């Protein structure tokens, strides 16, 4: 690592992709049963168990303070599903501040159980700890799932010419978190009680789970790649998709579904929805004939889906079309929600 990289000061959010790639490059991942190891943009790891592939994923909940046990199950299950797998088993690590009431732990365990029951997942273990210096409860989860070897899906297998499909809309999770965590600020900025209340319910409607959407898409047999947008927003997810597949992307901005509540919250707080944490959406790539069948299947299940662009050659870079004008895809140093709460 160069001195310039080593001396970089890190801000809240994901490690920058260039740093992550340099760290991953130094890892020993030579196990013969490891089918897919760590990589920028990949949603999970694949390990061969002969006739079945184990899919493993870890993710923490750090921005939200409400329903964090429920969140932990949902976001980890999403990554398993985005890899073509069925989420099966969950291990959680729950860290609590000193002097936190025991009822907090009780409530988080209830949330874990609620979400696991919804998705048919079994809680198989984990760890709990009262941690010195922690300002709020933090939960990190590891989800294990499985798929037939022929059914696994990577982020890195998008093909030039593929359509890019987006389900639901962008910044669903970010909209819900901000509405729950910053209600008074939004009301003071001019949003109505009804608007904030509706945005807070985005966790459930339209919802942050993509398990059903991923299962429907993969069942068509036309998916070439999938990716679960989370921290970094839709812009970060498209960048990760392109990096993993070594391609470019061209996006039609007018095709992105942005809910009115999301637009109002972002305008009120000076945020860009393209860079706002985005669980609830799923990126799917497929050839043009296949994408039509995928969208029809999703729409039949009442899941909004549309083609938002295409996979292009890498030399064309990452672009978006806005009002017939092409411009580079926006780049965010960190997720907009991290920027918002780092200012608080």
Split at pLDDT 50, 70, 90, the class of 343 is low
Q: What are phi and psi of 243, to 5 degrees?
A: -60, -45
pLDDT tens by residue, 288-315: 999 999 999 999 999 999 999 999 999 9
218 plus 108 within the same structural domain: no
220 plus 102 within the same structural domain: no
Domain of 38, CATH number, reads 3.30.1330.10
255 plus 108 within the same structural domain: no
Residue 4 lies in a domain: no
Q: What sign for the dihedral angle of Cα 333, 334, 335, 341?
A: negative
pLDDT tens by residue, 198-230: 999 999 999 999 999 999 999 999 999 999 999
173 plus 321 within the same structural domain: yes
Find the mean pLDDT for residues 164-169: 98
Among 127, 124, 99, 98, smallest CA distance to 113 is for: 124
* All residues at 6 or more sequence positions from 313 whose CB lies less than 8 Å from its CB, including other chains: 160, 247, 248
| pLDDT at site 252 | 97
221 plus 99 within the same structural domain: no
Q: Kindly compute the dihedral angle of the four CA atoms of residues 54, 58, 64, 68, in this order, to the nearest 10 degrees.
A: 60
Angle at CA of residue 27, ends 26 and 31, nearest 5°: 145
111 plus 181 within the same structural domain: no
Domain end among 131, 151, 171: 151
Domain of 199, CATH number, reads 3.90.650.10
Domain count, the chain: 2
Strands 52-61 and 45-49: antiparallel
| CA–CA separation, 242 and 99 (whole Å) | 46
Q: For the sheet containing 34-36, what is the strand order?
A: 34-36, 45-49, 52-61, 138-147, 86-97, 122-131
| CA–CA separation, 215 and 24 (whole Å) | 29
Q: What is the DSSP string of 193-227?
A: HHHHHHHHGGGTTTTS--HHHHHHHHHTT--SEEE
Q: Lowest mean pLDDT: which of 11-25, 75-89, 146-160? A: 11-25
Residue 219 lies in a domain: yes
Split at pLDDT 50, 70, 90, the class of 17 is confident
200 plus 270 within the same structural domain: yes
Q: Which domain holds residue 294?
A: 163-343
Q: Are 251 and 329 in contact (CB under 8 A)?
A: yes
Helices 172-181 and 260-269, packing angle to 10 deg: 60
Q: Are 306 and 257 in contact (CB under 8 A)?
A: yes
Domain end among 129, 151, 173: 151
pLDDT tens by residue, 30-84: 899 999 999 888 989 999 999 999 999 999 998 888 899 999 999 999 999 999 9
Alpha helix locations (H) across the chain? 3-6, 17-24, 68-82, 102-119, 172-181, 183-188, 193-200, 211-219, 233-245, 260-269, 288-300, 336-343
pLDDT at residue 25 is higher than 70: yes
133 plus 167 within the same structural domain: no
pLDDT at residue 191 is higher than 90: yes
Find the mean pLDDT for residues 86-112: 97
Q: What are phi and psi of 2, to 5 degrees?
A: -70, 160
Q: What sign for the dihedral angle of Cα 79, 82, 87, 89?
A: negative
169 plus 261 within the same structural domain: yes
Domain end among 151, 177, 196: 151
Among 265, 312, 236, smallest CA distance to 17 is for: 236
Residue 64 lies in a domain: yes
């Amino acid at each position: 690592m160069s001195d310039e990289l080593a001396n970089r000061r890190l801000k809240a959010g994901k490690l920058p992709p260039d740093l992550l790639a340099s760290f991953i490059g130094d890892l020993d991942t030579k196990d013969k049963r490891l089918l897919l190891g760590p990589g920028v943009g990949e949603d999970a790891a694949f390990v061969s168990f002969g006739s079945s592939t184990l899919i493993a994923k870890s993710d923490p909940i750090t921005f939200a303070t409400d329903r964090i046990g429920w969140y932990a199950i949902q976001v980890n299950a999403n990554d398993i599903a985005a890899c073509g797998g069925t989420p099966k088993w969950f291990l959680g690590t729950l860290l609590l501040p000193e002097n936190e009431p025991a009822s907090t732990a009780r409530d988080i365990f209830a949330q874990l159980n609620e979400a696991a029951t919804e998705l048919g997942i079994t809680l198989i273990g984990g760890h709990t700890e009262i941690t010195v210096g922690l300002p709020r409860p933090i939960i990190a989860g590891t989800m294990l799932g499985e798929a037939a070897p022929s059914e696994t899906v990577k982020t890195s297998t998008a093909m030039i010419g593929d359509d890019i499909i987006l389900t639901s809309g962008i910044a669903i999770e970010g909209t819900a978190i901000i509405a729950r965590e910053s209600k008074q600020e939004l009301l003071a900025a001019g949003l109505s009680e009804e608007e904030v209340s509706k945005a807070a319910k985005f966790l459930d409607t339209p919802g942050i789970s993509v398990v059903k959407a991923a299962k429907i898409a993969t069942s068509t047999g036309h998916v070439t790649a999938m990716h679960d947008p989370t921290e970094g927003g839709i812009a970060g997810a498209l960048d990760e998709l392109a990096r993993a597949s070594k391609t470019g992307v061209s996006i039609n901005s007018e095709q992105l579904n942005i809910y009115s509540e999301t637009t109002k919250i972002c305008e009120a707080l000076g945020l860009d929805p393209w860079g706002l944490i985005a669980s609830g959406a799923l990126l799917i790539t497929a050839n043009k004939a296949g994408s039509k069948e995928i969208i029809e299947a999703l729409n039949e299940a009442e899941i909004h889906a549309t083609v938002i662009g295409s996979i292009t050659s890498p030399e064309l870079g990452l672009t978006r079309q806005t009002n017939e004008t092409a411009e580079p895809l926006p780049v965010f140093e960190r997720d907009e929600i991290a920027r918002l709460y780092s200012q608080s």
